[in-house]
Amino acid sequence: MKNLLRSGVLVLIVVIIVYILFLQQCRGKNYWIPKGKVLISESLYDSLKNFKPDTIINITDTFKIKDTVYLTHDSLIYVEDSTGIKHYSDSIVNKDIRIWDNISVQGFITKWDRRYEPVIHTITEKITVTVPQIIEHTVYNSDNGLYSSIIVGGNSNTFAFGGGVDLITKKDYLYGLQYQRIFNENVYLFKLGFKIKVRRNK
């Protein structure tokens, strides 16, 4: 019983040492990136912030001239007939030009008043600016992993049990301690391993 208690204390001390090593490995500056986000440098952020955005131009024709409304007609419109003088007014207003005619006729044209002006366009610019989102706080996350295990087994002649603690570093190295109780004997195993990288054919 004393040997079992002594072995348990020893295992506990070793576990504490491994845990301290694990905490020291976790102090690296490894950043955890939230899902759907991308980590960029400050220089790239500044360049994106000052990047000239796409411009959408909407052109709208403006036909209003002061308070007068002008209509387009297929033929001259008779306006007034007095003292044998006929007066006609007509206009052509479209997206390209505006023309207004005022004609006085008395057997022949006595007066033809014409004025015109180009169409005025109003340009509206819609500017869309995309700015990356800044993460104001940093979350640290270690690539190291600390694992524990329980071992139970045996055969028809014996029964064994035990446990173990393994530390896998971010460089894929494994450091482990394993304890087994076989019959009345305590067995301690130390493990050292590394990852075997297999090249995949593309």
pLDDT tens digits, residue range 50-100?
A: 666 554 444 444 444 455 544 444 444 444 555 677 777 888 777 777 777
* pLDDT tens column, 104-139: 777 776 777 777 666 667 777 788 877 777 767 666
Q: Which domain holds residue 142?
A: 2-34+135-194
Q: How many domains does the chain have?
A: 2
Residues 116 and 139 in one domain: no
Mean pLDDT score of the chain: 70
> In this structure, is residue 66 part of a structural domain?
yes
> In this structure, is residue 22 part of a structural domain?
yes
Q: Which residues contact 113 (CB under 8 A, 6 or more apart)?
A: 101, 102, 103
> In this structure, is residue 115 part of a structural domain?
yes
> In this structure, is residue 79 part of a structural domain?
yes
